[in-house]
């Protein structure tokens, strides 16, 4: 009968035992997703979707503050469009689902389900942009996209996923390049401030860049298993798409010119990062700013005081609801102990326990999810205490993750040190790199580590290439990656 | 060079001359959409998408207040799922795009692009619902859907469109039926309160109901050309999908039972209704509650006072921005007169004109979009005046539309009167109906009018059927429809 009961009572595998299984256990047990009956697709359940809503709110506000507006373009991309940009089509073609029929009728031209929207947007920008007065065009789209990847994992890599994709067009290369870095910084700010995940902003190598871009920038985060995760990307497209889609404008000097473009995206993948950076063996740990529920109230209801406690807890919920995202768990079929575990597993930043004795003493007990610390607080100062606590938890999570990243990043000047940093110590290596794809490939073959990015902040002394020992062009981060 | 210049300077066709052309002119000239290079698809440009964002905000709040949560299900529906509910598949099959290949590989089972999600959600509810304790399940999804319809029109009927779809499962028929009417009322409240569109809530006939539902309810609005538009639907699905997807739960009496389900949806179509109910020969007229911009400031800048006026206007924008959605148009390449036309065409509820003399007199001129009335207001009472005015405009738009609907609705007791109401007077007929599909079909064949719905409020005396003259089962609204 109870089809999924087994999952719900199963314990969470400890991170140290099997990080990958821990991840799978946590997202299922915290009820964030379910697997859909289509290969590699997931269903975002309400608790999972709420995390995406938090991402949407945080990013959308920042996009609008930086002058962008939302629009919506079709999910279908005619085959001829996708074929226009050579590298782009080669990059995406094997992963693209094709609509060939409608009802019983065969279409004249096959339609791709968008893997990304540069091409369809290129066609529209060709129609819209005529003069330098029409520039810049600063649009964003919230949408679903599809990439039929071989190995899929919930949030991290799914066949269909939700994301936002910004697409801008500019008069000059300088302005476009400025936009690329501006949006990279918007991502960094959102991920560090709201999600408490420290990241490294940098530039991707030729091998790792977006197919169709001139330069790709990324923010990279380090998960607790020592693997890096690309959390957002911002691309300088130059005039690549402008030339194939003929996006020309009459400039101030009366010359016809191609626009310079950018695109940038962040997806539901970021939720996977949030889980893997902060979670522990008891389950999710959500950063207060992004947590759909910040405070969970668990009344200790027993005996003759039951109704009184319940009433007080309800009062408290109403009161705190004015300042914090608050929920009350007054279910009677579960014990307080069971509920403590449950809400810890779901990662709620603060738990409030309130029982008859607390009420007598005009106090409650606050329990921090991040440290487990118990704090007795007078009901009179509750809001200010919670407010301070949420701020503390937010910065504690960030600092902990930052320290983890620092502790798991080693300077590596040769392959032995690199292997130690990446394989034995499970983390990142910061190394000199000569700039050749050969060395990049060799390191990957020998250690499994790829260049995550070339950090924007470069030291004065670049040293020598970790592989060939020639003069380094850059310092780069090597790591295994999701 | 200037590819679309022609469209931008073209005047708007008067409604009385050609309503359909008026509609097309307005949405293009107000820059809400563009036609996409895929049959029947549109691009929602920023001004159009902002209207959808207003709909999302208004509905999402109401859904959450009534206990619903958002989730996200895959866009792909395996062919075998769609085939499970017979009526449902017959209704949607001819309009369904099929994914047959990924890259160069043929799929084992074809995947439909969702026309609606009852089937994929049915499969997941089968997995999730085990006990009466799991009920009710109250989920909503914001998503894109695809229906390959023959005749398409922007907003009203497009190949791909954006919508929300609610899907709920309940323990009893009674509770499910209550949900159906509750959500119908949520739609009515949103459309009447926020969009200022009066609607008729009622039940669809067998012929017009959703394929797969037991009962479909709708809210119907009347456009200014006398055609009705179905603005939202709420379906009682009974146990139809529960039986084919085996959604059973162990009830309190220890019996296995099928759940009772509902689904309900509203789409980007509602934006078309807003345009056709309120618009006039000068363009859009947006209801203040839903208008992305409520106040547009046009400074009258000339001669030596130019900078002073510009500065004052900027000050005003900052000040009013705290209370209202305010924009400033201080472009110097356009005359004030040109701007007045432009912002009227875009439907902004209130225009503020501010020139040197106004500043001297510590006043501004407010101009109402709905009536054209000019109001001189002291700068000291600006916020309260605007606030009152926005409320007045909102209710004026609703009342005007309500009066239009009343004026264009005739009681019709025979076919001659019905034809006069629908064809000559271009509106709706309220008539008795015997309940037979034969009479319903005959009326359609002879007048082009269909039964829009059976209004929930029925009179005591139902009269006789407008077609066969037998005893009527209901009073119903007949109209031509979008």
ipTM value for the complex = 0.95
Tokens standing for B294?
């409520």
Cβ within 8 Å, pair A36-B148: no
pLDDT by residue (tens digit) across B345-364?
999 999 999 999 999 999 99
How far is residue A152's CA from residue A170's CA, in Å, rounded to a whole number? 36
pLDDT of the residue at A431: 97
Report the predicted TM-score, pTM, of the whole model to 2 decimal places.
0.95
Which residue among B5, B43, B81 sits closest to A71, beta carbon to beta carbon?
B43
Q: How far is CA A404 from CA A198, A391, A431, B277, in A?
A: 10, 20, 19, 59
pLDDT by residue (tens digit) across B78-125?
999 988 888 888 888 889 999 999 999 999 999 999 999 999 999 999
- Which of chain B's residues have a Cβ under 8 Å away from the Cβ of A38? 74, 76, 78, 111
pLDDT of the residue at A9: 44
Q: First CA to last CA across chain A, in angstroms?
A: 37
pLDDT of the residue at A10: 55
pLDDT at B430 > cutoff 70: yes
Which residue among B5, B34, B71 sits closest to A124, beta carbon to beta carbon?
B34
Cβ within 8 Å, pair B36-A74: yes
B252-261 contacts: CB < 8 A, separation 24 or more?
Answer: B252/B132, B257/B171, B259/B125, B259/B129, B259/B135, B259/B169, B259/B170, B259/B171, B260/B169, B260/B170, B260/B171, B260/B172, B260/B173, B260/B175, B260/B176, B260/B177, B260/B236, B261/B125, B261/B167, B261/B168, B261/B169, B261/B170, B261/B176, B261/B237
Which residue among B71, B100, B124 sits closest to A101, beta carbon to beta carbon?
B100
Mean pLDDT of chain A: 95
B38 in A contact zone (CB under 8 Å): yes
Residue B368: name the closest of B335, B393, B342 by CA: B393
How far is residue B169's CA from residue B242's CA, in Å, rounded to a whole number? 9
Cβ within 8 Å, pair A75-B160: yes
Least confident of A53-62, A92-101, A405-414, A468-477: A92-101
Average of per-residue pLDDT across B66-74: 98
pLDDT band at residue B10 using 50, 70 and 90 as cut-offs:
low
Q: Which CATH class is domain B295-389?
A: alpha beta
Cβ within 8 Å, pair B71-A46: yes
Tokens standing for A307?
């109704």
Q: How far is CA A129 from CA A27, A133, B424, in A?
A: 45, 9, 45
Tokens standing for A476?
């780069």
Look up the CATH architecture of domain A295-387: 3-Layer(aba) Sandwich (3.40)
User: What CATH number should be reported for the domain whose range is A5-278?
Assistant: 3.30.930.10
Domain locations along chain A: 5-278, 295-387, 409-479
Q: A388: helix, coil or strand?
A: helix
Cβ within 8 Å, pair B98-A94: no
Average of per-residue pLDDT across B43-60: 98
What percentage of chain A carries pLDDT values higher than 90? Answer: 93
pLDDT by residue (tens digit) across A242-297?
999 999 999 999 999 999 999 999 999 999 999 999 999 999 999 999 999 999 99
User: What CATH number should be reported for the domain whose range is A409-479?
Assistant: 3.30.110.30
User: In A79-178, where do the E strands start and end?
Assistant: 97-102, 105-113, 137-146, 160-170
């Amino acid at each position: 009968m109870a089809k999924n009961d087994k999952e719900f009572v199963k314990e969470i595998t400890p991170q140290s035992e099997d990080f990958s299984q821990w991840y799978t256990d946590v997202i299922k047990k915290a009820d964030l997703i379910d697997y859909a009956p289509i290969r590699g697709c997931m269903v975002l359940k309400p608790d999972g979707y709420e995390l995406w809503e938090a991402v949407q709110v945080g990013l959308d506000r920042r996009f609008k503050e930086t002058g962008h507006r939302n629009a919506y373009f079709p999910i279908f991309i005619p085959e001829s469009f996708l074929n226009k940009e050579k590298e782009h089509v080669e990059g995406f073609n094997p992963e693209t689902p094709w609509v060939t029929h409608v009802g019983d009728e065969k279409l004249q031209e096959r339609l791709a389900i968008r893997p990304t929207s540069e091409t369809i947007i290129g066609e529209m920008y060709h129609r819209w942009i005529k003069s330098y007065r029409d520039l810049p065009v600063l649009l964003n789209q919230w949408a679903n996209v599809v990439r039929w990847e071989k190995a899929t994992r919930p949030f991290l890599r799914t066949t269909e996923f939700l994301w936002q994709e910004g697409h801008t067009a500019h008069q000059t290369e300088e302005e476009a390049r400025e936009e690329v870095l501006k949006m990279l910084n918007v991502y960094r700010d959102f991920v560090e401030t709201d999600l408490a995940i420290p990241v490294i902003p940098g530039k991707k190598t030729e091998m790792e860049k977006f197919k169709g871009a001139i330069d790709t920038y990324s923010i990279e985060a380090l998960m607790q298993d020592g693997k890096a995760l690309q959390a957002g990307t911002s691309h300088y497209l130059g005039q690549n798409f402008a030339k194939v889609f003929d996006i020309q404008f009459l400039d101030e000097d009366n010359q016809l010119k191609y626009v310079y473009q950018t695109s940038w995206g962040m997806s539901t993948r970021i939720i996977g990062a949030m889980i893997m950076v902060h979670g522990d063996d008891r389950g999710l740990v959500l950063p207060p700013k992004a947590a759909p529920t910040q405070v969970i109230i668990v009344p200790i209801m027993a005996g003759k005081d039951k109704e009184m406690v319940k009433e007080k807890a309800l009062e408290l919920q109403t009161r705190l609801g004015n300042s914090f995202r608050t929920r009350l768990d007054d279910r009677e079929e579960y014990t307080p102990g069971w509920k403590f575990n449950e809400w810890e597993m779901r990662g709620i930043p603060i738990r409030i326990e309130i029982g008859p004795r607390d009420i007598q003493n005009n106090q409650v007990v606050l329990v921090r999810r991040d440290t487990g610390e118990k704090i007795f607080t007078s009901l009179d100062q509750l809001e200010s205490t919670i407010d301070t606590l949420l701020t503390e938890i937010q910065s504690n999570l960030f600092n902990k993750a930052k320290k983890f990243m620092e502790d798991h990043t080693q300077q590596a000047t040769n392959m032995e040190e690199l292997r130690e940093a990446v394989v034995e110590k499970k983390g990142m290596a910061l190394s000199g790199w000569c700039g050749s794809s050969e060395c990049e490939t060799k390191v990957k073959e020998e250690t499994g580590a790829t260049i995550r990015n070339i950090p924007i902040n470069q030291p004065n002394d670049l040293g020598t290439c970790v592989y060939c020992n020639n003069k380094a062009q850059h310092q780069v981060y090597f790591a295994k990656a999701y």
